[in-house]
Amino acid sequence: DVKVTQSSRYLVKRTGEKVFLECVQDMDHENMFWYRQDPGLGLRLIYFSYDVKMKEKGDIPEGYSVSREKKERFSLILESASTNQTSMYLCASSSPGQGTFSYNEQFFGPGTRLTVL
Amino acid sequence: DQQVKQNSPSLSVQEGRISILNCDYTNSMFDYFLWYKKYPAEGPTFLISISSIKDKNEDGRFTVFLNKSAKHLSLHIVPSQPGDSAVYFCAASVASNTGKLIFGQGTTLQVKP
């Protein structure tokens, strides 16, 4: 049974704190992703990684950084948390596609509800 | 620039009837489309997908239709059940090994008993 786990389900932090969100997958997937979900905005990609130590910016990378030192672990870092980073954070992983007209689905973790006060 | 749009934030249907969720896209390079379902306090789960070389894919009560000329896809759920009440996200992909997806805003479906 495939599994993506996230370190916390709920997190409350203060403005200015450094926040670490951890994600671990047990499927040996090359690709890993961090999204945030906000009402009316859907899932927005923050960062993704297609290999160890490789990372690329998504659509909303400002205020975030990531780390991928091992294949199974992808960390999202909020360098200095702000109230507008209060959100649901979702991690996902997938294996590479097989080319055009094919796709390997992303598997998601349960999410971390982060509140920044 | 929203490349994948779900223009209906919510939909309410009666149990046993058909639910139709819609999705529009702007990028003609998208070659694969997926629907995900999300319950509160859970991560999204994959529901059904379709390649751009097809116009229909069916899996039990769920059917996805793709109209490439209109850049439109829809998810049909027949018959709808109360357990289908969730947020549904449409997503699209351009062929690459990164697996990057572009998601729509989501539609909240409520199926009334």
- Cβ contact (<8 Å) for B98 and A50? yes
**What 3-state class would DSSP assign to A7?**
coil
Q: What is the mean pLDDT of chain A?
A: 92
Is beta strand A31-38 parallel, antiparallel or unpaired with respect to A42-51? antiparallel
> Which residues share a beta bridge with B32?
B51, B93
Chain B residues with beta carbon closer than 8 angstroms to that of A45: 100-102
d(CA A86, CA A90): 13
* C-alpha radius of gyration, chain A, whole number: 14
pLDDT the model gives residue B95 = 65
Residues B65-79: what's their mean pLDDT?
A: 97
Q: Which residues from chain A sit within 8 angstroms of residue B93, using beta carbons?
A: 97, 103
Q: End-to-end CA distance of chain B, in Å?
A: 38
pLDDT tens-digit map of A3-48: 999 999 999 999 999 999 999 999 999 999 999 999 889 999 999 9
Cα distance between residue B73 and residue A74, in whole Å: 32
Nearest partner of A63 among A54, A76, A74, judged by Cα: A76
Residues from chain B that touch A110, judged by Cβ atoms under 8 A, are 41-43
CB contact under 8 A, A31 and B98: yes
Average pLDDT in the B90-102 region? 81
- Percentage of residues in chain B having pLDDT higher than 70: 96
Which chain A residues are within 8 Å of B103, Cβ to Cβ?
35, 42-44
More confident residue, B79 or B40: B79
**pLDDT at residue B99 above 90?**
no
* Low-confidence winner among A20-24, A82-86, A112-116, B41-45 (lowest mean pLDDT): B41-45
Distance, in Å, from the CA atom of B73 to the CA atom of B55, rounded to the nearest integer, reads 9
The pLDDT score that the predictor gives to residue B94 is 78
**SS3 per-residue string spanning chain B:** CCCEECCCCEEEEECCCCEEEEEEECCCCCCEEEEEEECCCCCCEEEEEEECCCCEEEECCEEEEEECCCCEEEEEECCCCHHHCEEEEEEEECCCCCCCCEECCCEEEEEEC
- Residue A96: pLDDT band with limits 50, 70, 90: confident
Chain-chain contact of B99 with A40 (C-beta, under 8 angstroms): no
Contact B94/B84 with Cβ under 8 angstroms?
no
pLDDT of residue B54: 94
pLDDT at B56: 97
Quote the pLDDT of residue B97: 62
CA distance A21 to chain B (A): 15
Contact check, Cβ <8 Å, A40/B9? yes
CB nearest A41 (choices: B44, B101, B105)? B105
pLDDT in tens, B18-70: 999 999 999 998 989 999 999 988 999 999 999 999 999 999 999 999 999 99
- State yes or no: pLDDT of A103 exceeds 80: no
* Structure tokens belonging to residue A89: 């954070």
Q: Residue B34 and residue A103: Cβ atoms within 8 Å?
A: yes
Q: Please, what is the average pLDDT of chain B?
A: 93
